Structure 1
């Protein structure tokens, strides 16, 4: 599911001489090098996406620079979840010759799980990175994918996502199918995200969370042991009461039988 498809015209810059049959893509093999843990806050169940429990995500990034281009590559990794190559991945390309910023991949920003604030967080990180050095550059306008406009709810989510970050969404038709975003100055974009949904967890915070979790586990173990001791005590008391009741019943039956015998043998 596409949280916000920005079909950026990012034909990644290539190396090599003109006429080469297979020129390698610039920085194609770059992988994330610096990692941060993100906390996805538990949210109410959404009718479109279902349950949204507490989750933790690994956010990775890597940078490359040369005279012609700069690149910020970002990605997410979720434990025990398989994703396609184009999912949870975003590139921010800076073309210094044309003073332009482009967003990739060409297939658009595809986040899984979606509707958790991850797409906005990732794009905000890219905008913040570009604004630090190239706030006067522009992000080129581009057409938006028609497939996201087929469902009204998906289209509204996408448009809200883009407008929140400072992009202007326009449509060439009354049916809102042929959408695009206009050119935008990098410095005019919004580099914030919804911190109620996504929080960056620092190392010390993570250690504190683990310590608190361990403390709660120990407290629960103590409480469980106390409860088990009470249950065992009640079981022992119950067994004693059952034995006493059985003795009383036996004695009552014996007395009744004795009285009957006396009454019938006078």
Structure 2
């Protein structure tokens, strides 16, 4: 069993952050894309409506002699997010046999409360378990802004603990926290598949075909309804003309009766 790496000091952590930022892989763009389906969920009082949505899931990985990297991204149609949002990085340091999850700002996912956080972690953990199951997991500090309320803190902690990470609080107010795990092999790579589903290419084509067929059927129904409306309009015009003739005839008859009665 490999020796445990020495605890990192703040200087070491800062140096490692600078190294990662200057690494040739620091700005790698996604190379492989898949489609994600977010199932419609009941409206949440804090995060609002949660309708059916589709999201592009990007992936790029590199396996090197000294480091390896997996970067996952989410892209929303017609919606811009900040650079640090919707991204997860998994770095493997082969000299220290250490896996670290990034970025430093934490995993910030939009839209919130849709199961995407667990999905991203599960994908990163699955990759790490496949290649580096015996590596240790670096302790990661959790940003206090991710727990602005008790409910947000509970949701964050549940997401991390469900993947096998241990959450520890460093102060009595439960503001400063960190998460860790003994080994990559102790982490879990499952997620809420009923909330987030990977849509394969053929499934996406089938969905588009069904949607096109539904649109055509709807257009046929609309044309039938428009034809019925036109028929009703013509019948309404005929009835109006008939009623006008009857009114005129009644007025004529009344005038004739009055004229005969006054003679």
Same topology, TM > 0.5: yes
- In the alignment, the residues of structure 1 paired with residue 238 and residue 148 of structure 2 have an alpha-carbon distance, to the nearest angstrom, of 72
Counterpart in the other structure of 1:14: 19
Q: Deviations over 1:93-151 (max 9, x none)?
A: 01111111001111111111111111111110000001012111121123222233442
More helix by share: 2
1:193 and 2:191 are equivalent in the alignment: yes
- Contact kept? 2:164, 2:181, Cα under 8 Å: no
Counterpart in the other structure of 1:140: 138
- In the alignment, the residues of structure 2 paired with residue 70 and residue 57 of structure 1 have an alpha-carbon distance, to the nearest angstrom, of 26
Residue 209 (structure 1) aligned to one of 176, 196, 207: 207
SS in 2 for 1:184: coil
Q: 1:26 offset after TM fit, Å?
A: 3.5
Q: Deviations over 1:233-265 (max 9, x none)?
A: 011111111111111111111111101100100
1:66-215 equivalent positions in 2, closer than 5 A: 66-215=64-213
Q: Deviations over 1:42-81 (max 9, x none)?
A: 1111111111111111111111121111100111111111
- In the alignment, the residues of structure 2 paired with residue 173 and residue 144 of structure 1 have an alpha-carbon distance, to the nearest angstrom, of 13
Q: 1:183 offset after TM fit, Å?
A: 3.2
- Contact kept? 1:149, 1:176, Cα under 8 Å: no
Unaligned runs of at least 5 residues, structure 1:
1-8, 16-22
Number of equivalenced pairs: 250
SS in 2 for 1:14: helix
1:46-85 equivalent positions in 2, closer than 5 A: 46-85=44-83
Residue 256 (structure 2) aligned to one of 228, 249, 258: 258
Question: Which structure carries more relative contact order (alpha carbon 8 Å, separation 6+)?
Answer: 1
- Contact kept? 1:12, 1:25, Cα under 8 Å: no
- Contact kept? 2:181, 2:187, Cα under 8 Å: no
- In the alignment, the residues of structure 1 paired with residue 163 and residue 181 of structure 2 have an alpha-carbon distance, to the nearest angstrom, of 13
Unaligned runs of at least 5 residues, structure 2:
1-12
Q: 1:13 offset after TM fit, Å?
A: 7.4
- Contact kept? 1:13, 1:26, Cα under 8 Å: no
SS in 1 for 2:257: helix
**TM-score (norm: length of structure 2):** 0.90
Check 1:67–1:58 CA distance in 2 against 1; reply closer, same or farther (3 A cut): same
State the superposition RMSD in angstroms.
1.7
- In the alignment, the residues of structure 2 paired with residue 262 and residue 69 of structure 1 have an alpha-carbon distance, to the nearest angstrom, of 114
- Where do 4+ consecutive residues of structure 1 move more than 4 Å? none
- In the alignment, the residues of structure 1 paired with residue 105 and residue 230 of structure 2 have an alpha-carbon distance, to the nearest angstrom, of 62
- In the alignment, the residues of structure 2 paired with residue 183 and residue 124 of structure 1 have an alpha-carbon distance, to the nearest angstrom, of 14
Counterpart in the other structure of 2:228: 230
